[in-house]
Amino acid sequence: MDVSQYLIRIGYQGPAQPSLETLRRLHLCHLFSVPFGSLSIHCKEPITLELPLLYDKIVRRHRGGFCYELNGLFLWLLQTLGFEAKAVAGRVRNRFTGHYGPPLDHMVIWVQLDGRSFLCDVGFGEAFQEPLELIPNTEQVQEGGVFWLGMKEGVWILERREVPGKEGRPLYQFTLEEKKLDDFADMCIYHQTSPSSIFPCKSFCSLQKEDGTRLTYMGWRLISTSGEKRTETVLQSSEIPAVLREKFKIELEGNFEPKDEEILPPPEED
């Protein structure tokens, strides 16, 4: 795996020595270049959590992926550049069902830098654009919104707020217990097969643009959001490959089947 090719893939130019500014710019470049989504599942491409396979898919084949893929490979990049970075596990609050997922539902990255701790996540879709400092009960305002981190009984909670000072929508919870990529293997299968996971239920990909617009393809729709402005275009199945190619720079392989089905709540509530 070639670091220089990875940096070209995400459009990063500049110093690569560990610093907060390097971390911030790497995070932004990744979000602006690599889509988050489920397209492999709907092309019947099995997802296996092996770094060379993830590198080939994301860097060489110019594809996107979900959290284990994107954060797994980004973690490798950070560690290779000399950052003190570790994988940790979270549980996402599903915005369709309102339920939290099972343990190891989500992979995020914990970075320790110059005596401070930061949360990085390039594999969520609607989360923060720049690393968040791990300080409890503090709002952090950035271009992508207002984010609040709280802690209860050793569990961190990430919340997105529409209005500063007012309770918002929980995105996910996580702990700082270090995990390895292999620890997420069973949940990687779950997210390819479970009717309670968004990934097999909906074919989608989403990309944050530098101008503040978020482009999302889902099922038979192309959605553009910018602040409070939202536009939606209905697509024919025959139009989807061209939309993915032109809007997301993704050239699909295999037989792609669009899908947009209801997500079922998990069998037991939290």
Single out the catalytic residue among 67, 120, 188, 205. 67
Rounded Cα distance between 259 and 264, Å, is 15
> Closest Cα to residue 186, out of 104, 94, 268, 123?
104
121 catalytic residue (yes or no): yes
Single out the catalytic residue among 27, 42, 99, 106. 106
Q: Which two tokens stand for residue 71?
A: 């954060």
Rounded Cα distance between 164 and 168, Å, is 9
C-alpha distances in Å from residue 173, one per residue of 19, 92, 214, 266 = 26, 7, 24, 17
Give the number of other CB atoms < 10 A from CB of residue 40. 22
Single out the catalytic residue among 42, 121, 188, 191. 121
Helix, strand, coil % in the chain, rounded to nearest 5: 30, 30, 40
201 catalytic residue (yes or no): no
Residues designated catalytic: 67, 106, 121
